[in-house]
Structure formats: C-alpha cells, structure tokens
C-alpha cells in the first residue's frame, strides 16, 4: 500500500512537470507568434506610410516647381531652363480652370444625350430614387453587374446638388433612431460593405449610418461603394451621413488606383465621371457631431483645431488637400479661403494620435500632425464633448482606443494588407453614447485558416513586399554598406548591416530580428556578405532598379500630365514630362535622348503615347546589371535600346 502511494506521488510529480513544460512551451509559442504578427504589421504599415510620403513629395515638388517658374526670369543656364519648362508644365496641368458657374457645369455633366442600349442588363434608375432602387443597385453590384454610365452621371449629379446644401459639420441626434451606426475606411472593398449591411441592416429611417471617409482607392470596387452610399443618401438624406477622407482627393486617386478603376470601367464617359466626382469630393462634409458630445472626423485634430473656423470654411475650394498648403506661392491660396482654414482642413483629414503629450508635424505621412492626450483633453473640454471617433489608420482588431479611451480609431476594411492581416469593425452608438464595437472579417478564406496559418501567410506577404523595397534601393544600400566596410571585403557585421539598412530605408523596423527572414548568407564568423545578399532576395519579377523604385511615381506623373484623362499624352507633353522627371530624379537627359526615347516607346507609331506604352517601356529585366540598364534606358538612344532587345539576358 505504501508502494502504491509512492508511485502515485511520483506520477503526480511528473504530471506537474509535464504541465509546466507544456505551459512554458505554449507561452513561448504565443510570444513568438505575437512577435511575428507585430513585425509583419509594422512592415506593412511602414511601407504604406512611405508610399504616402512619396506621393506628397511628388505633389509638393510639382507645386514648388510651379512657384519657381514664376520666380525665374533669366534662363542663362540649362538647369534654370529645365526648371522653367517644368514649372510651365505644372502650371498648365494644375491651372484653375473651374471658373464657370455651377449651372454651366451641370450642362457639361448632362447625361440626357447618352442612350442606354436594349441589351443592357444592369439596373435602371429613375429619380427621385426609391428604397427599392437603392437596394436593387446593391444587389446588382453583389452580382458583379455594372451600372450604365448614363445612370452613373445622373446619380452623381443629384448627389452633387444635395451635397451643396449640406453644412461643413453634420449634426446628428440619437433621440429619434436610438442608435447610429458608424463605419470607418472601406477603401474600395465592397465585400466589407455588403457584410456590414448583412449583419446590421441597410440604412433606413430607423437605422441611420455615418460613413467616415476613405471610400475609394486600393480596393477594386471603389466606384460601386460610392454609388451605393450616394444612392442611400439620396433616399435618406437625414439618415445617411458622409464625412470626407484624405483619399477623397483626385490627386491622391491618381496614385492609389481610383482614377484607373473609373477609366477602365467607363472608357467612354470616364473623364466626365471623374470630373464630377472631383467636385463631389470637395463638397463632402468635413466632420459630424453626435448629440453635441461625440465628434466624428476622418483623421483627427491639432492644437489649433477650431470647430467654428471649420464650420465657416469654404470646403468646396479644397479639392486637393495638400497642394495648396505645400505650395509657397501666394496664388495658391484662394481669396475665399484663408491659409488657416486650409491648414485646419488638412489636420482634420490627415492627423494621427500619439501617446505622448504635445502636437507635432506628422512627418511619417507627410501631412497633418500627431496630437497627444493633452491636446485631446483640452479640445474636449473647450467644446464640452466626451469622445472623438476617427478612422485613417488600419488597426489589427479593426478598432483601438487611446488617450484614456477618449479617442476611438475605427477601420472597416478587413484583410486590408492581405487575407488575415486585420479585422474590420463598425460602431453602434446609442443615447448613452457608449460605443458598442462589432468586428468581422469579410473573406471566407480567413475562416478556413488556423491562427498559425494566418500569421504565416501574412508574414510571407509582408516579407515579399519588403524584399522588393530593399531591392529597389540596392544602389543606396551598397553605398551604405561600403561606409562600414572600409577594407572593401564585402562583409559587414550584423549591427552594421542593420544600421546601414535603416539609414537608407527609414522604416523604423527591427532589422536585427528580421535578419533571419531576410539574410541567409552569413559567414562562419557571423558577418554578412552584402553582395551575395542581394542575389538571395528572391524577387519574383525583377524590374529595372531605378524605374522600379519610382514606378508609382512614373504612373502618377503620367496621369497628372494627362489632364483630360484620355489615357494619351502628346509628344510635346512627353518631352516636358521627362524634363520634369529629370529634375525630380536629379538625372541629366538631353532633348535628343528624349526624342529618341519617345520614338522607341511609341510602339504603334500613332504620334502619341498611352499609359500602357509608357509603363511597358520600363519593364526590362536583367539580373546582371539593372542599374546600368536603368541608365541606358534614361540616357540611351534608339539604337542603344534596339540592342537591348537582342540581349538574351533581357
């Protein structure tokens, strides 16, 4: 009997040890998974914000060039001449040509001469819209049908007329409906909007909605989301509210996909649709106030945010939120809108909260500011409010409280970076003004993945994007490595490798932690062979390095120069574009080189260059010497380019 007790005690002792080991292993597993999830998230967010910085740099550069062009009167040097020509081009592109009255614009946007063919099987609209038509439009888009351009223009024109009657700041009350549903960024992801309506119901008198900006860009169904929201707003003008986001800006749309989407889906009338949307975006309200206590806006506030100033600002004059502010020229500020109003609108659309007190410029995004808990406290006290709801930032859980739960960030586009990367969320706000958050993920694939599989998939996607970014900066990275490699051995220590990479990329990532994922070519003494490292980045489709780095900028500049959104630019516009681009990239290029390049790119020899020809010209692959090929493309003559075609390595 004593022996049995001894064995029992021994068994329990081993069981406890096993339990402790299992707990320890599980905690380490959870910690490693969380670490991977966090750095994956950091990679995506850092690269996203660096892209926004690049967009703002292009825009500020263009407008500074416009200012320089007015200041340069003597053109004695080639550089001054290039600057002057570039400035003239920018002045032509961004000229203020909207000087006609609204009635004249309504005639320009007239849809009555557009016929709907009998074979058209999509939804038909009559105005004023009915609830049944709005729901029918929703179902048509669910079934991948497209609304005819006649109805698109008619719906947008009615929306424009309604928005011109609305104040800068919506006033919403919960006393009638008992509850208001608030949605954050959707970014063209129709699947998320459909899921929200499925879970929460479509807008109605009993179920008002507030959509907090960034309806478009990045996703593939931006125009469908706009048409759905506008149709319900026309049916329920007192129960569906829209705030403007920083992506409701036609210059931002040039880079992030919305312009291209509209021109692809509506090839004939896309230009008119885009022009009308440009005017609609400028008339969207800037913020909403619920029960006088909750402020809802897209970005945030600053230490100078004044609701009184925002309420009186001429918001429709702010078509491009960054352009006017970043330009130094006095002509860039409308006589009807003060610079303080421009700055306040910029802060409302672009700002982000931070943990520490104070207010500082938002250099990560390139616009707006960072504001701290003290700024929130002061703003709420001054305005007798209790909560700020904003969007603008993707959050892994779809929402996040900060500043002592007085600021709520809400993001409604699930799987934003990749499938499984984040949840979406919306908020229901009742008379007690306590936010009730509902989370979701729209993709059925996420429900089929385990947590480990989801993290692994997202991690692989993030690392792929990061490797492409690293490759795009190969030349700069090599220079940075050589500063640490004084003896030219081709080797650097792990610390020096991490320092060099951060000095070039400026992504604020944990490079030492990421080394295992990015570097396999370590030597026996732990140093890194940085030359071999570039060969191991495993880029799926290697593009010309210089142009690969600036491919988004190239397409943006093309679409900026293509002022009528025709998809074509003339040879003269192409020549001036390259003058502009050569100044931006600090590269020397002669008129003869530009002419030869234009002839080579114009593959169908029709005397103009379309976007496909423009971008396809820069899709050369060469694993041996991409940088030299890049110089050849910029500087080479037509004969040089012909030689490249015969090169078997290209």
Q: Where are the alpha helices (DSSP H) in 109-249?
A: 131-142, 149-163, 190-200, 222-235
Quick one: CA torsion of 478, 480, 486, 489, rounded to 10 degrees? -30
Round to whole Å and give the CA distance between 425 and 212. Answer: 12
- Measured CA to CA in angstroms, residue 429 lies from 168, 255, 396, 588, 608 at distances of 22, 35, 22, 58, 55
Place of tokens 């961004």: 94
12 tagged catalytic: no
Round to whole Å and give the CA distance between 241 and 210. Answer: 5
Place of tokens 């038909």: 124
Round to whole Å and give the CA distance between 61 and 83. Answer: 11
- The closest of 191, 426, 205 to 296, measured between CA atoms, is 426
| 3-class secondary-structure state, position 206 | coil
**What is the CA angle 403-288-168, rounded to 5?**
125
**Beta strands 180-183 and 424-429: pairing type?**
antiparallel
| 3-class secondary-structure state, position 439 | strand
User: Could you say which of 42, 75, 187, 247 is catalytic?
Assistant: 247
For residue 294, the cross-strand partners are 290, 387
Round to whole Å and give the CA distance between 259 and 144. Answer: 20
Round to whole Å and give the CA distance between 20 and 26. Answer: 10
- The closest of 373, 383, 370 to 404, measured between CA atoms, is 373
Round to whole Å and give the CA distance between 209 and 207. Answer: 7
Omega before 128 cis (within 30°)?
A: yes
| 3-class secondary-structure state, position 81 | helix
- Sequence length of the chain is 650
Give the residue numbers marked as catalytic. 247
């Amino acid at each position: 009997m004593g022996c049995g007790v001894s064995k029992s005690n021994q068994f329990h002792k081993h069981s406890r040890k096993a339990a402790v080991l299992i707990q320890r292993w599980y905690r380490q597993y959870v910690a490693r998974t969380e670490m991977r999830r966090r750095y994956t998230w950091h990679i995506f967010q850092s690269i996203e914000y660096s892209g926004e910085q690049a967009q703002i740099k292009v825009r500020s550069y263009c407008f500074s060039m416009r200012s320089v062009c007015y200041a340069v009167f003597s053109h004695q040097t080639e550089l001054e001449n290039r600057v002057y020509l570039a400035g003239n081009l920018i002045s032509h592109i961004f000229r203020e040509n909207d000087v006609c009255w609204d009635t004249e614009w309504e005639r320009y946007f007239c849809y009555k001469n557009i016929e709907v063919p009998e074979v058209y099987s999509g939804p038909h609209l009559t105005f004023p819209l009915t609830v049944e038509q709005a729901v029918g439009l929703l179902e048509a888009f669910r079934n991948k049908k497209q609304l005819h351009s006649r109805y698109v223009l008619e719906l947008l024109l009615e929306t424009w007329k309604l928005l011109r009657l609305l104040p800068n700041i919506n006033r919403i009350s919960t006393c009638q409906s008992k509850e208001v549903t608030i949605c954050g960024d959707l970014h063209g992801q129709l699947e998320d909007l459909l899921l929200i309506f499925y879970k929460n119901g479509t807008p109605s008198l009993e179920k008002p909605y507030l959509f907090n900006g960034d309806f478009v860009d990045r996703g593939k169904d931006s125009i469908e989301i706009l048409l759905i929201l506008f149709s319900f707003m026309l049916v329920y003008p007192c129960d569906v509210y829209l705030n403007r986001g920083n992506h409701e800006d036609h210059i931002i749309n040039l880079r992030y996909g919305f312009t291209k989407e509209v021109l692809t889906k509506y090839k004939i009338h896309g230009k008119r649709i885009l022009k009308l949307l440009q005017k609609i975006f400028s008339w969207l309200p800037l913020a909403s106030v619920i029960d006088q206590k909750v402020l809802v806006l897209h970005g945030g506030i600053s230490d100078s945010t004044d609701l009184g100033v925002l309420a009186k600002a001429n918001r429709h004059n702010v078509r491009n939120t960054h352009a006017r502010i970043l330009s130094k020229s006095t002509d860039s500020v409308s006589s009807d809108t003060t610079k303080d109003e421009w700055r306040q609108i910029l802060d409302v659309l672009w700002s982000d909260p931070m943990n520490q007190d104070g207010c500082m410029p938002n250099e990560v995004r390139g616009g707006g500011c960072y504001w701290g808990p003290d700024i929130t406290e002061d703003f709420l006290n001054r305005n007798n409010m209790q909560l700020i709801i904003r969007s603008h930032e993707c959050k892994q859980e779809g929402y996040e409280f900060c500043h002592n739960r007085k600021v709520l960030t809400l993001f409604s586009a699930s799987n934003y970076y990749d499938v499984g990367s984040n949840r979406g969320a919306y908020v229901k706000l009742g008379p007690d003004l306590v936010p009730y958050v509902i989370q979701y993920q729209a993709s059925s694939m996420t429900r089929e993945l385990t947590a480990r599989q989801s993290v692994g998939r997202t991690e692989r996607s993030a690392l792929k994007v990061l490797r492409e970014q690293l490759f795009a900066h190969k030349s700069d990275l090599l220079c940075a490595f050589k500063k640490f490699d004084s003896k030219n051995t081709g080797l650097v220590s792990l610390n020096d490798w991490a320092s060099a990479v951060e000095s070039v990329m400026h992504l604020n990532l944990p490079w030492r932690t990421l080394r295992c994922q990015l570097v396999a070519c370590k030597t026996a003494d732990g140093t890194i062979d940085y030359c071999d490292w570039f060969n191991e980045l495993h880029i799926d489709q290697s593009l010309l390095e210089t142009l690969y780095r600036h491919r988004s900028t190239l397409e943006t500049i093309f679409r900026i120069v293509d002022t009528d959104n025709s998809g074509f630019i003339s040879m003269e516009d192409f020549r001036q574009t390259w003058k502009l681009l050569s100044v931006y990239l600090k590269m020397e290029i002669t008129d003869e080189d530009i002419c030869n390049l234009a002839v080579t790119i114009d593959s169908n020899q029709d005397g103009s260059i379309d976007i496909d020809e423009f971008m396809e010209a820069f899709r050369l692959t060469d694993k041996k010497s991409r940088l030299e090929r890049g110089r050849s493309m910029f500087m080479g003559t037509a004969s040089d380019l012909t030689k490249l075609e015969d090169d078997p390595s290209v």
